């Protein structure tokens, strides 16, 4: 095994242990240039092992691999953590007030909010996914806005430049955000890179940013970064969230709501 092969093997071992590490630290450890480490990570990326995420080497854990909807299917995700997601959705809906303008992000947890919005509330809701549009359309108290575009069947999301421009012209009191990973150092992430411009738009268009995620998403890293934790105002999750995460969110001034697993 040559020097490069030995370095790649050692680098993989380090990343398996630590999950992520700054490129400059790897360069110092192996006594090579940062450019060499970047080239090594390009090689590891082609093998689905790790990649360069903004100057940090990130290990691919389980489903964190290709970073597109080929490894994500909304219908399959719907059954995962279903009791938790339903409880989170019910509680999140209780945060919606009379005459609110809200945005519901793509995802299976945000979808659970829609059935619990009371019919007697006068609410304007913006969405851009087929599953959430279907869940909302029967509520006579909701004035629907829909940002369309190209359709991604596995996430049921529509996205386009025109759709993003439409979102930018809207001002909402609350946005209910989804995420596939929440990490204390690498921020809030999703699976698909095409989601990111839309997520940036809804963050800028909303006054209160509410992240709705089940506890399994914490300490997870997915390839498409869209915001830091300090951009989030409120987190709604289930009671299984760890004490470490409770303390961290409190230290960041994030309002945490935990809910039990109710069917």
Cα–Cα distance list, 89 to 23, 58, 84, 108, 233 (Å): 39, 31, 9, 9, 17
Give the count of beta carbons closer than 10 Å to the beta carbon of residue 232.
Answer: 23
| Tokens (6 digits) for 102 | 């809200």
One digit per residue, the tens of pLDDT, for the chain of length 263 reads: 578 888 888 888 888 777 778 899 999 999 999 999 999 998 888 777 888 877 888 877 543 434 444 455 444 444 446 778 999 999 999 999 999 999 999 999 999 999 999 988 999 999 999 999 998 988 888 999 999 999 998 889 999 999 999 999 999 999 999 999 999 999 999 998 899 999 999 999 999 999 999 999 999 999 889 999 999 999 999 999 999 999 999 999 999 999 986 55
**How do residues 87-114 score in pLDDT, each as one tens digit?**
999 999 999 999 999 999 999 999 999 9
CB 15 within 8 Å of CB 59: yes
- Whether pTM > 0.75 for this model: the answer is no
pLDDT of the residue at 75: 43
Domains of the chain are: 3-59 (1.10.10.10), 71-259 (3.40.50.10470)
**How do residues 159-177 score in pLDDT, each as one tens digit?**
999 999 999 999 999 999 9
pLDDT of the residue at 61: 55
> 3-class SS at 68?
coil
pLDDT of the residue at 88: 95
Where would I find the H helices in 95-215?
A: 108-111, 130-136, 161-168, 196-205
pLDDT of the residue at 69: 47
Residues 6+ apart with CB under 8 A from 143: 122, 123, 124, 125
């Amino acid at each position: 095994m040559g020097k490069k092969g030995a370095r790649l093997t050692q680098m993989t071992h380090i990343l398996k242990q630590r999950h992520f590490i700054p490129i400059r630290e790897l360069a110092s450890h192996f006594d090579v240039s940062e450019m060499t480490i970047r080239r090594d990570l390009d090689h590891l990326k082609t093998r689905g092992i790790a990649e360069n995420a903004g100057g940090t080497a990130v290990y691919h854990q389980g489903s964190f691999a290709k970073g597109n909807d080929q490894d994500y299917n909304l219908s399959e995700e719907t059954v995962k953590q279903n009791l938790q997601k339903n409880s989170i959705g019910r509680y999140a809906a209780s945060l919606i007030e009379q005459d609110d303008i809200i945005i519901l992000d793509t995802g299976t947890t945000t979808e659970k909010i829609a059935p619990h919005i009371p019919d007697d509330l006068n609410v304007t809701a913006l969405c851009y996914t087929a599953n959430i549009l279907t869940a909302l359309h029967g509520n006579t108290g909701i004035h629907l806005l829909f940002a369309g575009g190209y359709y991604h069947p596995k996430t049921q999301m529509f996205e386009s430049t025109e759709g993003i421009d439409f979102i930018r012209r809207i001002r909402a009191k609350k946005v209910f955000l989804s995420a596939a990973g929440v990490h204390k150092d690498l921020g809030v992430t999703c699976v698909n890179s095409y989601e990111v411009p839309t997520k940036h738009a809804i963050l800028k268009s909303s006054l209160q940013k509410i992240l709705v995620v089940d506890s399994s998403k914490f300490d997870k890293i997915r390839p498409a970064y869209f915001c830091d934790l300090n951009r989030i105002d409120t987190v709604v999750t289930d009671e299984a969230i760890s004490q470490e995460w409770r303390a961290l969110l409190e230290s960041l001034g994030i309002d945490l709501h935990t809910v039990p697993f109710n069917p």
